[in-house]
Amino acid sequence: MKKTTIHDIARELNITFSTVAKALNDHPRIAAATKEAVREMAIKLNYQQNKLASSLRSGRTGIVGVLVPTLDVSFFSSVVHGIETVMNENGYNILLYQSKEIYEDEIRGVDTFLQTRVEGIISSVALSTKNYDHFIDLKKRKIPLLMFDRTVDEIGVPYVRIDDYGGGFMATEHLIKQGCKRIVHISTDQQVEIFKERLRGYKEALLKYGLPIDESLIFYGNLSIELGKNCIKKLVDEKVDFDGVFAFEDYTGLGALKELKDLKINVPEQVKVIAFANEAFGAHITPSMSTVDQQTVKMGEEAARLFLKLIKENKYYENAPEQIILDPILIQRESSQ
Amino acid sequence: MKKTTIHDIARELNITFSTVAKALNDHPRIAAATKEAVREMAIKLNYQQNKLASSLRSGRTGIVGVLVPTLDVSFFSSVVHGIETVMNENGYNILLYQSKEIYEDEIRGVDTFLQTRVEGIISSVALSTKNYDHFIDLKKRKIPLLMFDRTVDEIGVPYVRIDDYGGGFMATEHLIKQGCKRIVHISTDQQVEIFKERLRGYKEALLKYGLPIDESLIFYGNLSIELGKNCIKKLVDEKVDFDGVFAFEDYTGLGALKELKDLKINVPEQVKVIAFANEAFGAHITPSMSTVDQQTVKMGEEAARLFLKLIKENKYYENAPEQIILDPILIQRESSQ
DNA sequence: CTGAAAGCGCTAACAG
DNA sequence: CTGTTAGCGCTTTCAG
């Protein structure tokens, strides 16, 4: 039950294995009749090319490593979906590795990819990673690295992410245009770039429209439905006046919405709400929740396309790292109109 | 800028490359001092083992192919998350392929895996697949194949899925206990085992509680929000009497819920709804949707564990295919109480 | 148009 | 304990 090789095909046809190899690779200087015979015999013998051997010899594996924190968060699985789709269309396969947000696992992932001789790596950094040598090392080895979403300037490689500042601005501006004067922002840990940017967008929008930045309207907590609820509760308890809520992500926005409902505060009549991420539930709740879409699948597709473009040019690290900033998309639903 | 090999290490240390190879593989008959020196030099020279070469020679790649319809559905990405986690803990890596529910792509995926010499494949069948020769062929080639969720008896390989019959029964019984007498079941193509099983559970529950099986209350269509809407529309148009809906999966259930809302039919007062899958949105829509949880991450972990156990025994296809049936979990929410 | 030959980087006997 | 040797199955010159 040994696997059939080009030698087996050659023997059956009384030609040399090197002719078989060329025939299978559609080499121009092989007779059409020979090619035909070889192909037929290959099918008859259930031949499947051994990519290990071919990769070892040619130096091309056609494999790209994808290193993400987890697939159990729809943001990441959507992006990976986009990456795989485009890579597959271009003849590449994906080796998958989850860092589980753990620095050491991220390093293990990079090592695995190096040993598998992937032709490049597409990654989003683990939250616990503070040292980026394993990524910078890839650059030294001339292994193409492309980052998405959680990018790190220090690494200095091409990346794709959305304009979080613009998204924050857009969400806030939308509320202002809907007539809100006192807009709450619920945010989180300011270590992560993207959340800092959303907050910056919020402040800039207020400034632009001549509204004061009131720090008592800005909250920080851990991403959760509870966070949204608690903030609303606190605002109401303390009789703080507000007419708009911009939550830094959808689950927090959902919590705010739920609490407002519980407190019989009408949305959007009394308070308008918008969040960020466009998770699946937002369109189906009542009232449906306005949000900012991050174009996750497109982010993956664009990441793959940029990667492919850059490796095709064959000078991946020779120019300044190219970057793609996707536009956030304002999704206006019932909660804000 | 050539990659360093065991020959480079050997040269630096004035020993032969085969000693280096053994040292790196921690072979027992190599002097501790030699091992130490080799390891140091390996680090100094940034050596990374070439797995292509080692796999080619040893016949072991340590790669398992995971072939799923898409990662853009949380059910599948959760399962893949579970698979990767367990496989990774056991030294295996995952090559990922999405069939996009397309038969031809599924075949391409299998071929790719064959060429990459994966040590096995874990897969869930595409909905459009009607011919299973590409899977049966794996058995003939003695390539371990394990299926999950969308299993097919005809293929005859080990699998992991939930007790879809029990889930269907449980969902229907729940509606009956809530007082429903005329329960609609929206299902799909009966080629896929799991959907057939859910339907069987539905019928058995009706029987058990002495309710008639009315074929005019059973619908078949393509998984979508539209399917749910259309069924409700049709029922109402034709003035069919019904007081419960059991949708074979959540998106269809969502469609039903939306249409009922549009038609001003109160849920759960007039019609109670339950679906299947426990997608993220179900808990947050209004009314929140009852459903049956499939233990997705656990399904992936169990699939990986069963796979590992079976390949370790080294007689993957010699016994009757083993299977793991996970318990479905009833999630009662507003739509059914 | 086909064949011969070298070798990608490693594993795994076998010999010493 | 270390070295020699023979490949794994393919790609890729170079001859013919």
C-alpha–C-alpha distance, residues B325 and B149, integer Å: 10
Which nucleotide C1' is nearest B47 CA? C9
Distance from CA of B323 to the nearest CA of A (A): 25
Q: What confidence category does residue B286 fall into, taking pLDDT thresholds of 50, 70 and 90?
A: confident
Q: B54 beta carbon < 7 A from strand D?
A: no
* In the predicted structure, residue A128 carries a pLDDT above the cut 90: no
- Cβ within 8 Å, pair B50-A66: no
CATH superfamily of A63-162+296-326: Response regulator (3.40.50.2300)
- What is the dihedral sign for C-alpha A155, A158, A161, A167? positive
Predicted confidence (pLDDT) per residue in A85-98, tens digit: 999 999 999 999 99
pLDDT at A1 over 70: no
- CA B58: distance to chain centroid? 30
Nearest to A112 among B50, B93, B142 (CB): B93
- Alpha-carbon gap, residue B32 to A74, rounded angstroms: 48
For domain A164-294+332-336, give the fold: Rossmann fold (3.40.50)
Residue A29 pLDDT class (50, 70, 90 cuts) = confident
Contact B95 A96 (CB under 8 A): yes
Both tokens of B18, joined, read: 């085969």
Q: Please, which pLDDT band fits residue B192 given cuts at 50, 70 and 90?
A: confident
Q: How many angstroms is C1' of D12 away from CA of A18?
A: 10
Which residues in chain B touch residue A116, judged by CB atoms under 8 angstroms apart?
51-52, 93
Q: Please check whether the domain covering A6-49 is classified as CATH 1.10.260.40.
A: yes
Intervals of CATH 1.10.260.40 along chain A: 6-49
What is the percentage of chain B residues whose pLDDT exceeds 70? 100
Q: What's the Cα-to-Cα distance from B314 to each of A109, A325, B310, rounded to whole Å?
A: 28, 50, 7
**Bridge partner list, A308:** none
How much is the average pLDDT of A255-277? 96
Nearest nt to the B59 alpha carbon by C1': D8
Nucleotides of C under 7 A from a protein CB: 1-13
Residue ranges of chain A that CATH labels 3.40.50.2300:
63-162+296-326, 164-294+332-336
Which residues are in reach of strand C, CB within 7 A?
Answer: A 15-16, 18-19, 22, 27, 29-34, 53, 56-57; B 2-3, 5-7, 17-18, 21-22, 24-25, 49-50, 53-54, 56-58
Contact positions of strand D to protein Cβ (< 7 A): 1-13
Would you say how long chain B is, in residues? 337
Contacts of B46 in chain A (CB under 8 A): 141
> From the list A52, A72, A286, which residue is nearest B61 (CB)?
A52
Q: Whole-number Å distance, CA A147 to C1' C15?
A: 52
pTM of the full predicted structure? 0.90
User: What are the tens digits of pLDDT across the range A270-284?
Assistant: 999 999 999 888 988
